[in-house]
Amino acid sequence: MKKIVIAIDGPSASGKSTIAKALAKTLHYAYVDSGAMYRAVTLYFLENNIPIDHPETVATALPKITIRFQRKEQGNRTILNGQDVESEIRQMRVSEYVSQVSAISAVRREMVRQQQLMGKHKGIVMDGRDIGTVVFPEAEVKIFVTADIKERARRRYTELNKKGIQVTYDAVLENLHERDRIDSTRAVGPLRKADDAFEIDNSHLGLEEQLELAIKIVETKIGEKM
């Protein structure tokens, strides 16, 4: 079967990664969570007191950041400069800062460059905000995943609670509102549905129905059954 690129975009906590991971597993493709990369940069900036309003300091810091992914049985791990930061990057202190860091054009330039390298040989599913519009505008399959914000907040709140992260539903909802706002209004690579993307609103869809839809979209595009 010919290898393709699958770009999945959508707002925070819309369930993009669930669809992306399931598609990657079915197709035996690599899966890249581009949001984890922006979260890792944010963690680095926080831990090294990098002022985001100081372009020279940001430019000097970027080459010192190496991000890679490690595939483990329990899921993908994000490795920042050799350290497993998978848990840290999901904490609220990172969520509260990540959209500001992601709006910096030098940060986006570097992340997009690395993401394009990862997809050079195709056979990849990547999720994020600008994958179908900026990173892989030529992707064979583009899916835009949305859901009602209250439903997204409920899902993220449950997810964080399960991980033992102390947070209130209202704080999660407020964070999603703020990130949606910054992510969709920034000048570089804003969150936007690509013109040729299929939209899946999963506010009222179960996981199975959602995956069926995604698989149908891929099959239609590649003209083969998965």
Question: What residue ranges bind ligand CDP (CB under 6 A)?
Answer: 12-13, 34-35, 38-39, 98-99, 102, 128-131, 179, 183
Minimal distance, residue 26 CB to ligand CDP, in Å: 21
* DSSP category for residue 90: G
Residue nearest ligand CDP, Cβ-based: 35
Neighbour count for residue 168 (Cβ, 10 Å): 9
183 phi, psi to nearest 5 deg: -65, -35
State which H helix or E strand residue 200 sits in: strand 198-201
Question: From CA 123, how far away is CA 159, in angstroms rounded?
Answer: 29
Q: Which is nearer to ligand CDP, 61 or 98 (CB)?
A: 98
The nearer residue to ligand CDP, 117 or 223, going by C-beta atoms, is 117
Q: Which residues pair with 123 in a beta bridge?
A: none
Task: Please report how close the Cβ of residue 37 comes to ligand CDP at its closest, in angstroms.
Answer: 7
User: Residue 47 CB, nearest distance to ligand CDP (Å)?
Assistant: 17
Q: Which is nearer to ligand CDP, 35 or 119 (CB)?
A: 35
φ and ψ of 8, to 5 deg: -125, 120
What's the min distance (Å) between Cβ of 1 and ligand CDP? 26
